[in-house]
Amino acid sequence: MALWVDEFRPRTLDNLHYHQGLSTRLKSLAASGDFPHMLFYGPSGAGKKSRIACTLRELFGPGVEKLKIDQRVFLSPSKRKLEINIVQSNFHIEITPSEAGNYDRVVIQELLKEIAQTQQVDLNAKQRFKAVVINEADSLSRDAQAALRRTMEKYMSNMRIILCANSTSRLIAPIKSRCLLMRVAAPNYHEMETVLNYVAKRAPFTLPPEATKKIIDDSGGNLRKAILVLEALKMQSPDLSGPLAIAKADWETYCHKVADLIVGEQSPARVMEVRAKFYELLSHCIPPTVIIKTVAERVVERVDESLKADIMHWAAFYVRKIVGGLAVPFTHSCWPAQEVRMRIGSKKIYHLEAWVVKIMSLYKHFFYDVDMSAFD
């Protein structure tokens, strides 16, 4: 049985629940015959992928939903075999280049060239081009991005690229200047409410307003998360009444524990304890950026107003150290890929630890009322 997020996902642009303005634009673009290369960007769970799927359907008709998954083998320059899963229909192809890690350029190059040299064989096809959807485009290495740019111009007649990314900051300018940008904002409270009610109606069951509020407040604008939580809660407590406890992810709880340790005591022994916890988190491939951010946000909830800005400052500082001088993106499939970029071999644990020492000393000095200006 499919999860609700998939089962009740809108299939056409008309059925999308919010950002009607965007849907109208996409519809008219799809109808105009000269569909451009596109870049969809926005936070996780805002509905980019659904919107892309609906756009494809608008362009090509229902045939685009007939998917098959192929495993393709590519050869890295050093003749290592790379096996990549490729989702495709007769009209489009979808790739997540982070699966290819450091060899994303090879995969992009080969695939695009192949597509560029093929023509649509289906004479009834509504478009003469094929669409190439590139997920997590902001995790493409610079090399792979460079490989894309002229290709996007040269093969425009039989191929359109649709990029999907959380942010545009990591995409090189020549790529952005070849795309039509579509910002997909997270749905607001009211819009999320509509969607949750719709899901409840389809399921069907009645959704108490208190439950809706709780789920939305917890979701941080991530609709996918909200629907997943709704389904989980419904399993736990079928009538969704009474106090609902939304389970936090293990790593999140763990990060909060780290924050509590830091605020609780500031000593070398405590640093060692925290370090052990960091190792644990890292070994579960939680990206260091996410660790620092989650811990820091929890710490600032618990300290004096005058310390908050400094704690976030040092979080930003060490996060930059962690990603700084980045050479090759390093990705792992269990996390949105762009979060995991860092220089291979950089000692991330050192930076995490240095940050902890820094904020412990800030915290301690705060109580002894020592002038910290020399540390800035």
Partner 1 sequence: MSFFNPKGASAKTSQKHVVDPALQPWVEKYRPRTIDDVSAQEHTVTVLRKALTSTNLPHMLFYGPPGTGKTSTILALSRQLFGPDNFRNRVLELNASDERGISIVREKIKDFARQTPRAQAVSSDGKTYPCPPYKIIILDEADSMTQDAQGALRRIMETYARITRFCLVCNYVTRIIEPLASRCSKFRFTPLDPSSSSLRLSHIAQCEHIDIDSAVIDTLIKTSSGDLRRSITYLQSASRLASSTSPPTAITSLDIQEIAGVVPESVINDFASTLGIEVEDAMDVGGSTKHNANSFGAIQSKVKELMREGFSATQILSQLHDLVVLHPTLNGRQKSSCALVFAEADKALCDGADEELWILEVGLRINKAIS
Per CB under 8 A, which of residues 190..229 are in contact with partner 1? 220-221
Strand, helix or coil at 168? coil
Nearest approach, Cβ of residue 314 and partner 1 (Å): 10
Q: Which is nearer to partner 1, 212 or 294 (CB)?
A: 294
The tokens describing 140, both together, are 């493409």
Q: Phi/psi class of residue 3: alpha, beta or left (left: φ > 0; alpha: ψ in -120 to 50)?
A: beta
The tokens describing 318, both together, are 């060490």
- Confirm if 148 and 115 have CB atoms less than 8 A apart: no
In sequence order, the β-bridge partners of residue 38 are 162, 180
Q: Which is nearer to partner 1, 182 or 200 (CB)?
A: 182
Separation between Cα atoms, residue 284 and residue 253, nearest integer Å = 14
First to last CA, the chain: 56
The tokens describing 204, both together, are 């069907």
Contact between 121 and partner 1 by CB under 8 A: the answer reads yes
Contacts 24+ apart (CB under 8 A), 312-317: 314/355, 314/358, 314/359, 314/362, 315/355, 317/355
Question: Quick one: which of 15, 20, 85, 157 contacts partner 1 (CB under 8 A)?
Answer: 157
- Confirm if 86 and 72 have CB atoms less than 8 A apart: yes
Nearest approach, Cβ of residue 26 and partner 1 (Å): 10
Contact between 32 and partner 1 by CB under 8 A: the answer reads yes
Which part of the chain contacts partner 1 (CB under 8 A), choosing from 29-37, 50-58, 274-282, 358-366? 29-37
Q: Which is nearer to partner 1, 196 or 292 (CB)?
A: 292
Residues 225-284 that bind partner 1 (CB under 8 A): none
Nearest approach, Cβ of residue 308 and partner 1 (Å): 4
Residue 17, classified by CB atoms within 10 Å of its CB into exposed (0-12), middle (13-18) or buried (19+), is middle
Q: What is the x/- site pattern for partner 1, positions 45-84, by CB under 8 A?
A: -x------------------------------x-------
Residue 124 is classified by DSSP as T
Nearest approach, Cβ of residue 106 and partner 1 (Å): 9
Q: Which is nearer to partner 1, 119 or 241 (CB)?
A: 119
Strand, helix or coil at 80? coil
Contact between 126 and partner 1 by CB under 8 A: the answer reads no
The tokens describing 218, both together, are 């917890």
Contact between 25 and partner 1 by CB under 8 A: the answer reads yes
Contact between 356 and partner 1 by CB under 8 A: the answer reads no
Question: Quick one: which of 169, 209, 264, 368 contacts partner 1 (CB under 8 A)?
Answer: 169
Residues 307-336 that bind partner 1 (CB under 8 A): 308-309, 312-313, 315-316, 319-320, 322-326, 329
Question: Quick one: which of 9, 51, 57, 178 contacts partner 1 (CB under 8 A)?
Answer: 178
